């Protein structure tokens, strides 16, 4: 099967993201909610959302930053951004902007943003290290980067998750059936085949890359599933 570029792939499959029904999956809701909790947007802040897709994070954070704040979402796919713009219009939101382009090409001066967030997008970037350097570069001092991703579970992390699951088997079973629903709906169908260059990275690998890019206080926030985590780090 021919490999599609990020733009072509997401233009083709945008319809599966539109309507934001993925928020119905527990793991996805966990990611979005946890990123926002960790980013803790405040009135007047400027937030950059890398790979904004249908703008779910941007829309949810819009009210928290208020009229004096700004959310800027970047995405390669015009179709995904079309849905994002529609969501902003439907919500009557005045403080959300979108820009079409590659995350890799961003070029913002220092102190442009208080926070950078990105959900389920960095794994499509070839050189994650240089994107992390750019993300740090555009933050203000004490600004924060918050990343949500599927990961290759690494041993240390997996152990902790298994311990957590043993403590709460009911929650773990619920999470597994939710995951199965995701696979059954076919939303991820064909992705791996068509996108063999997608990066696979573990939580600890990404933590090391964030530290190499100059972030401090880098932490891994685990969900109940080994594949799903949020990482955050601070620019000092």
Ligand X SMILES: C[S@@+](CC[C@H](N)C(=O)[O-])C[C@H]1O[C@@H](n2cnc3c(N)ncnc32)[C@H](O)[C@@H]1O
Q: With binding defined as CB under 6 A, does residue 10 bind ligand X?
A: yes
Q: How many CA atoms lie within 13 A of 210 on its CB side?
A: 25
Binding to ligand X (CB under 6 A) within 34-53 occurs at 51-53
The smaller minimum CB distance to ligand X, of residues 54 and 95, is found at: 54
Pattern 71-110, ligand X, x by CB under 6 A: ----xxx--x---------------------xxx------
At residue 206, the 3 state secondary structure works out as helix
Per CB under 6 A, 145 contacts ligand X: no
- C-alpha 139/C-alpha 213 separation (Å) is 13
16: number of Cβ within 10 Å: 15
C-alpha triplet 170, 19, 9: angle, nearest 5°:
95
Could you say whether residue 201 binds ligand X (CB under 6 A)? no
How far is the first Cα of the chain from the last one, in angstroms, to the nearest whole number?
45
Question: Residue 50: in which H helix or E strand, if any?
Answer: strand 46-50
Shortest distance (Å) from residue 81 CB to ligand X? 8
Question: Shortest gap between Cβ of 57 and ligand X (angstroms)?
Answer: 6
How many residues belong to the site for ligand X (CB under 6 A)?
A: 20
Please say whether the beta carbons of 103 and 128 come within 8 A.
no
In the complex, the smallest distance separating the C-beta of residue 51 from ligand X, rounded to whole angstroms, is 3
- Rank residues 65 and 121 by Cβ distance to ligand X and give the closer one: 121
Under rule CB under 6 A, residue 223 binds ligand X: no
Gyration radius of the chain over CA positions: 17
Residues forming contacts to ligand X in the complex (CB under 6 A) are 6, 10, 51-54, 56-57, 75-77, 80, 102-104, 119-121, 124-125
């Amino acid at each position: 099967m021919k490999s599609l570029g990020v733009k072509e792939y997401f233009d083709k499959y945008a319809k599966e993201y539109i309507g934001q029904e993925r928020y119905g999956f527990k793991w996805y809701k966990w990611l979005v909610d946890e990123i926002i909790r960790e980013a803790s947007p405040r009135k007047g802040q400027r937030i950059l959302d890398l790979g904004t897709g249908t703008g779910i994070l941007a829309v949810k954070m819009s009210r928290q930053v208020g009229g004096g704040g700004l959310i800027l979402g970047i995405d390669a796919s015009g179709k995904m951004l079309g849905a994002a713009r529609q969501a902003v219009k439907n919500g009557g939101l005045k403080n959300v902007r979108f820009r079409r382009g590659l995350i890799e090409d961003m070029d913002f001066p220092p102190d442009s943003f208080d926070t950078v967030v990105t959900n389920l997008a960095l794994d499509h970037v070839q050189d994650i290290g240089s994107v992390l350097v750019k993300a740090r570069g555009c933050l203000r001092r004490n600004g924060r980067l918050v990343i949500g991703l599927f990961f290759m579970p690494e041993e240390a992390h997996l152990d902790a998750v298994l311990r957590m699951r043993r403590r709460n088997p009911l929650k773990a079973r619920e999470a597994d059936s939710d995951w199965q629903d995701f696979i059954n709906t076919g939303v991820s169908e064909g992705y791996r085949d068509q996108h063999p260059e997608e990066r696979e990275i573990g939580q600890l690998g990404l933590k090391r890359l964030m530290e190499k890019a100059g972030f401090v206080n880098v932490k891994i926030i685990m969900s109940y599933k080994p594949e799903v985590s949020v990482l955050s780090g601070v620019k000092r």
